[in-house]
Amino acid sequence: MAEGVAFDIAGKLLNLLGSRVFHDIELAFGVRNEIRKLGDTVETIEAVLLDAEEQHIKKNHQVTVWLRRLKDAFYDADDLLDDFSTEVLKREDMTGNKMAKEVRIFFSQSNQIVFSLKMACKIKTIRERLTEIAKDRTFHLDECRDEKQVVHIETEQTHSFVREENVIGRDDDKSKVIKLLLESNEIENVSVIPIVGLGGIGKTTLAQLVYNDKKIINHFNLRMWVCVSDDFDVALIIRKIIKSANPKAVSNLNKLEMDQLQKHLHEEIDGKKYLLVLDDVWDDKNPDKWAKLKDLLMDGAQGSKILVTTRNEKVARITSKFPSQSLTRLSEDESWSLFMQVAFGRGLEPKDKELVTIGKDILAKCLGVPLAIRTIGHLLCDHKRISDWLQFRDCKLSEIAPEENGIVPILKLSYDHLPSHLKQCFAYCALFPKDFVFEKKSFVDARSCTNEFLRV
């Protein structure tokens, strides 16, 4: 994950090179040309970094290797510039004057020449290294200098079906949501109920349980299920709603313009008491898009409901005036029942008490998150030896579930949606051991996350 911070590091280098400190350094030590050449090189590379990081997310191996080399070179450049500016500032403090003229006076002429030549040589070496890495790029990257708030990656589409007998620990949550859906709202025809919880906690599963409940089926004239994910495209969502409402309605939906789409949408929902599930909504940057979509959905009959699932509380506030339904972690007993169901098929607890003890130790790492429990349970279902379970117990969660359909892609999706500076802080935080307790003041100094820690 550390490759995702390259754009942020490049920006830091450019800010440093353009600062007053380095302007004074250029004057004092005669390294203006090398510093400016380094700045030009970093700026050229920065222009393609956003595209490179997006290609890395899409698992382009060549780009990933290139980014790693580039990141290491950036850190070396950052270290060099930090050392250079720190040394100069120390000497300025000793003289009591921060002007470059006084810095020159402090140094003897011979020492200044030696120091200047040494630093010019180091800066040139770093610049040539970056230039070589840039030339080694054998793949095309587009220039883009504006960081996207959300990086789009393909995610698994959800659906409305679930086997209720396979779901554990959501009876109370199901009852609460069903009660809200059946309640009438005299203020507006269509009201929105958000379900909020972290990735893998079971938001989609709860929505599926509710969607297929007999009370809900009998109460609503029309039920529709749409997986939104991270691309909140109003036209695309409308197409999905129409298809869910009536799969045979229109054969050429993809070719229709918005005006035609809204007419077809109204034909499907006008005057009907409907339930629409918008599953996995991510976008909290464009509330106007939600407002436009909701306007088109307001002509349902009195009592129509929209059920939104999201891991983002801000999305819940944007979409609804009502309090969100927060989904909590499973209890220890519920977690163990789910784990037994997956790991042992019939859900029968093993007779070997040592295996039970190890299993509960492993389960503690899942923190009551159903997706994590299922992932680990599937991995252990073919391994019934104590030695195998002991090995799992001593592994980190990220090492336990490396499969493409496991928990790592879910966590990776959350990571990919972070801006680059937060990815850098994430990498810094990952250095601390699990359950480590720290004070805020000692955790982040005035210069934020330090590169020395991130280099590991």
* Residue whose C-alpha is closest to residue 32's, from 42, 18, 43, 45: 18
Q: Tens of pLDDT along 351-361?
A: 888 888 998 98
What was the pLDDT predicted at 452? 43
Which of 43-52, 258-267, 432-441 has the weakest average pLDDT? 432-441
Q: What is the largest CA-CA distance in the chain?
A: 91
* Residue whose C-alpha is closest to residue 81's, from 35, 43, 129: 35
What was the pLDDT predicted at 418? 67
pTM assigned to the model: 0.62
Rounded-to-integer distance, Cα 240 and Cα 351, Å = 49
Rounded-to-integer distance, Cα 9 and Cα 42, Å = 10
Percent of the chain with pLDDT over 70: 72
Written as six digits, the tokens of 225 are 């299920």
Band the pLDDT of 445: cuts 50, 70, 90.
low
Which of 148-157, 181-190, 324-333 has the weakest average pLDDT? 148-157
438's CB contacts (< 8 A; 6+ apart) are: 432
Band the pLDDT of 336: cuts 50, 70, 90.
very high
Mean pLDDT, residues 433-454 taken together:
56
Give the Cβ contact number of residue 398 at 10 Å. Answer: 14
Total count of residues recorded for the chain? 456
